[in-house]
Amino acid sequence: MGQSLCCVQVDQSTVAVKEHFGRFDDVLEPGCHCLPWCFGYQLAGRLSLRVQQIDVRCETKTKDNVFVTVVASIQYRAVAENAADAFYKLSNTRAQIQAYVFDVIRASVPRLELDSVFEQKNEIAKAVEEELEKAMSAYGFEIVQTLIVDIEPDVHVKRAMNEINAAKEKPSPNTYRGSVLQERQAIVDGLRDSVLAFSENVPGTTAKDVMDMVLVTQYFDTMKEIGASSKSSAVFVPHGPGAVKDIASQIREGLLQAESVHK
């Protein structure tokens, strides 16, 4: 109906391009406009002035030969005052922006090592924005903001980095073995000191007597606790308290060996 009455409506945040016999004539602002088609006027097209966004994924290589995928988010819009340039000069705005982003990223990232790429992503984004601003302003577009939203190393490199970090946090077997030996040595030293102190305070008592007494006491205490528990699942093997002597002999030998090593 609007075309038949030579009237067109331009929506908000949009401009329309008017031509006269195929030649650019004017840029129509939002509102209602008279377009007498019988005199050769026609509407060539419409151009949005809203901010648009394009995400560009660019694969490149760092200075230390690590392949990474850099994801850049570009926010741009057409300038109303230069709507004719934005409408006529570029046929594919997104492809043009993508080409400039590729050019800047592939010129910047290969100068940096992988760690520096993560640290200097703001500088990379600024370089991309400055280059786009210079290039796209000639076509009637304004670059609102440029962000480096993600940096993805190659999957094999990422797995290797995770394994290296896990190895750094996990203690080595030698460290664990050393701590266990230190704990055992501390227990042996404590037992030896206690036995020697008791022998010195009780006249006529040797270290062997004290150790036998400790073991026998522990033996009967253990048997008492097992018998007092109604839900005990212990399995008894025939033996007698005399077997404690063998244990006492082994502990004494351990104490003597530890004492010789300690000296």
Q: pLDDT tens, 13-48?
A: 999 999 999 899 999 999 998 888 888 899 999 999
206 and 224, same domain (yes or no): yes
- How do strand 23-28 and strand 31-34 relate by DSSP bridges? unpaired
Q: Which of 165, 193, 226 is the last residue of a domain?
A: 165
22 and 109, same domain (yes or no): no
Q: Enter the tokens of residue 201.
A: 């305070």
124 and 187, same domain (yes or no): no
Identify whether 258 is part of a domain.
yes
Could you count the other beta carbons within 10 Å of the beta carbon of residue 157?
A: 16
Assign residue 112 the CATH number of its domain: 3.30.479.30
Domain count within the chain: 3
180 and 258, same domain (yes or no): yes
Q: How far is CA 236 from the centre of its chain?
A: 55
pLDDT of residue 96: 92
118 and 155, same domain (yes or no): yes
154 and 218, same domain (yes or no): no
pLDDT of residue 2: 44
Identify whether 67 is part of a domain.
yes
Q: Is the pLDDT of residue 113 over 60?
A: yes
The winner for highest mean pLDDT among 143-147, 223-227, 247-251 is 143-147
Three-state SS sequence of the chain? CCCCCCEEEECCCEEEEEEECCEEEEEECCEEEECCHHHCEEEEEEEECCCEEEEEEEEEECCCCCEEEEEEEEEEEECHHHHHHHHHCCCCHHHHHHHHHHHHHHHHHHHCCHHHHHHCHHHHHHHHHHHHHHHHHHHCEEEEEEEEEEEEECHHHHHHHHHHHHHHHCCCHHHHHHHHHHHHHHHHHHHHHHHHHHHHHCCCCCHHHHHHHHHHHHHHHHHHHHHHCCCCCCCCCCCCHHHHHHHHHHHHHHHHHHHHHHC
- Specify the pTM: 0.58
Domain housing 13: 7-48
185 and 133, same domain (yes or no): no
104 and 67, same domain (yes or no): yes
Identify whether 29 is part of a domain.
yes
43 and 57, same domain (yes or no): no
Q: Which of 108, 133, 165 is the last residue of a domain?
A: 165
100 and 203, same domain (yes or no): no
59 and 43, same domain (yes or no): no
Identify whether 1 is part of a domain.
no
60 and 154, same domain (yes or no): yes
Identify whether 84 is part of a domain.
yes
Identify whether 255 is part of a domain.
yes
Identify whether 239 is part of a domain.
yes
pLDDT of residue 161: 72
